[in-house]
A and B are shown apart, each in its own frame.
Chain A
Amino acid sequence: MYILFAVISLTALGLALGFMLGAAARYFKVEDNPLVDEIEKMMPGSQCGQCGFPGCRPAAEALVAGKASATLCPPGGKALAEQLANKLSLEIDLAGVEDQAPMVARVAEAACIGCTRCLKICPTDAIVGAPKQIHAVVADACIACGKCVEVCPTECLGMQPVKTTLRNWRWAKPELAAAGA
Chain B
Amino acid sequence: MVVLDIDTLWRRRSKIRGGVHPEPRKEATADKPIVTAFPLPERLYLPLQQHLGQPAEPVVRVGEKVLKGQVLAESRGAVSASVHASTSGTVAGIAEYPAPHPSGLPTPTIVLEPDGEDRWIEGEGEVDPFGLSPEEICARVDRAGIVGMGGAAFPSAMKLNLGWKTRINTLIINGGECEPYLTCDDRLMRERAAEIVEGVRIMLHGLQCPTALIAIEDNKPEACAAMLDAAKRHGRIEVVPVPSLYPMGWEKNLVTHLTGKEVPAGGRPTDVGVLLHNVATAYAVQQAIRYGRPLIGRVVTVSGEAVESPRNVEAPLGTLLSELLAFCGHRPERTARYVMGGPMMGDHLPHVQVPLVKRTSGILALTPEEIQAADARPCIRCGRCVSACPVGLLPLEMMSRIRAGQLDAAVNFGLRDCIGCSSCSYVCPSRIPLVHYFKYASGELMARQQAQQKTEWTNRLAEEKRRRLEKAKQAAAQRKAQASVKEDAS
Contact = CB atoms under 8 A, between A and B. Distances in A.
| Contact flag (A, B; Cβ within 8 A) | yes
Interface of A: 41-47, 79, 82-83, 86, 94, 123-126, 140-141, 143, 164-166, 168-174, 176-181
A171 B448 contact: no
B221 interface: no
Interface stretch (B4-12, B71-79, B451-459): B451-459
A76 B377 CA distance: 33
A143 B461 CA distance: 11
21 contacts: A43-B455, A44-B458, A46-B458, A86-B406, A86-B408, A123-B461, A123-B465, A124-B458, A124-B465, A166-B99, A170-B444, A170-B446, A171-B439, A173-B444, A174-B376, A176-B375, A176-B433, A178-B376, A178-B377, A179-B378, A179-B403
A82 B405 contact: yes
Contact of A180 (B403, B446, B461): B403
A171 B433 contact: no
Residue with the highest number of chain B CB atoms closer than 10 Å, among A41, A177, A179: A179
Interface stretch (B100-108, B243-251, B349-357, B364-372): B100-108
Contacts of A170: 440, 443-444, 446-447
A15 B153 CA distance: 69
A8 B121 CA distance: 102
B377 A171 contact: no
Given A79-B444, A179-B432, A166 B377 contact: no
Contacts of B430: 179
Contacts of A45: 455, 458-459, 462
B437 interface: yes
A176 B432 contact: yes
A143 B103 contact: no
A172 B440 CA distance: 6
B55 to A, nearest CB: 10
B127 interface: no
A143 B452 CA distance: 12
Contacts of B444: 79, 170, 173
Contacts of A173: 402, 437, 440, 444
A99 to B, nearest CB: 11
A174 B105 contact: no
A46 B454 CA distance: 11
A interface: dominant SS: loop
B436 interface: yes
Contacts of B461: 123-126, 141
B188 to A, nearest CB: 30
A168 B450 CA distance: 10
B139 interface: no
Q: Which of A46, A141, A168, A173 has the most B CB atoms < 10 Å from its CB?
A: A173
B379 interface: yes
Nearest to A82: B405
Say which size band chain B's interface belongs to.
Answer: 35 or more
A164 B105 contact: yes
Given A82-B405, A166-B107, A171 B455 contact: no
Contacts of A143: 454, 458
Nearest to A163: B105
Interface in B168-214: none
Given A141-B458, A169-B105, 7 more contacts: A46-B458, A124-B461, A124-B465, A166-B99, A168-B447, A174-B440, A179-B377
Contacts of B440: 170-174
A47 B330 CA distance: 58
A124 B377 CA distance: 48
Interface string B157-176: 00000000000000000000
B484 to A, nearest CB: 26
B449 to A, nearest CB: 11
Most buried by B among A43, A82, A141, A170: A170
B48 to A, nearest CB: 11
A87 B448 CA distance: 15
Contacts of A82: 405
A125 B433 CA distance: 44
Contacts of A166: 99, 101, 103, 105-107
Pairs of residues from A and B, 7 with the lowest C-beta to C-beta distance, nearest first: A170-B443, A45-B459, A124-B461, A171-B440, A171-B439, A176-B376, A124-B458
A44 B103 contact: no
Nearest to B451: A79
A177 B451 CA distance: 30
Contact of B436 (A79, A165, A171): A171
A100 B440 CA distance: 18
Nearest to A81: B405
Contacts of B443: 170-171
A169 B455 contact: no
A46 B462 contact: yes
Contact of A44 (B433, B446, B455, B464): B455
A176 B425 CA distance: 15
A172 B402 CA distance: 12
Nearest to B432: A179
Contacts of A46: 458, 462
Contacts of A171: 436, 439-440, 443
B458 A174 contact: no
A95 to B, nearest CB: 13
Contacts of B437: 173-174
A21 to B, nearest CB: 29
A125 B464 CA distance: 9
A178 B99 CA distance: 33
Contacts of B103: 164, 166, 169
A124 B458 CA distance: 6
Contacts of A165: 105
